[in-house]
């Protein structure tokens, strides 16, 4: 399953950091952040609970880049 979210982040490197953080979250099979369009695409693992996984993704992203936002 794949979902796309709007995000807000200031610099291209911060976007890369968010991507790394999202990828490492449990329940996320893969993630891609597009700085150009300010979008995050998350590929969920089978059977993952999208809502709770995304809360974790947001938490992990905030850890590496406190200025970021994911509009869930």
Partner 1 sequence: MNKKQKKVLFRILLAAVLIAAIEISGIKGTWKLILYLAPYLIIGYDILIKAAKGIRNLQPFDENFLMSVATVGAFLLGEYTEAAAVMLFYQIGELFQSYAVGKSRRNISALMDIRPDYANIEQADGSLEQVDPDEVEIGTVITVKPGEKIPIDGIITEGTTSLDTAALTGESVPREAAVGSEVLSGSINLSGLIRIRTTREFGESTASKILDLVENASSRKSRSENFITKFARIYTPAVCISALALALVPPVIRLLLGMSGDWSVWVYRALTFLVISCPCALVVSIPLTFFAGLGGAGREGILIKGSNYMETLSQVRHVVFDKTGTMTKGVFEVSGVHHNSMESGKLLELAAHAEAFSTHPISSSLRKAYGEEIDETRVSDVSEISGQGVTARVDDRTVAVGNSKLMQAVGSEWKDCHGVGTVVHAAVDGEYAGHILISDAVKPTAQAAIRALKDAGVERTTMLTGDAEKAADAVAADLGVDEVFSELLPADKVAKVEQFLTEAKGNGRLAFVGDGINDAPVLSRADVGIAMGALGSDAAIEAADVVLMDDDPLKIAKAIRISRKCIRIVYENIWFAIGIKILCLILGALGITNMWAAIFADTGVMVLAVLNAVRALRVKNL
Q: Which residues bind partner 1 (CB under 8 A)?
A: 4, 10-13, 15-16, 19, 32-39, 41, 63-64, 66-67
Nearer of residues 10 and 45 to partner 1, judged by Cβ: 10
Q: Which residues contact 35 (CB under 8 A, 6 or more apart)?
A: 9, 12, 15
Q: In 3D, which of 21, 4, 3, 15 has the Cα closest to residue 68?
A: 15
Minimum CB separation of residue 68 from partner 1 in Å reads 11
Minimum CB separation of residue 18 from partner 1 in Å reads 12
């Amino acid at each position: 399953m794949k979902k796309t979210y709007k995000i807000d982040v200031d610099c291209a490197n911060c976007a890369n950091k968010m991507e790394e953080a999202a990828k490492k979250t449990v329940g996320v099979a893969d993630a891609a952040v597009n700085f150009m369009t300010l979008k995050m695409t998350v590929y969920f693992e089978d059977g993952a609970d999208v809502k709770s996984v995304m809360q974790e993704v947001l938490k992990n992203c905030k850890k590496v880049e406190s200025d970021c936002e994911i509009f869930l």
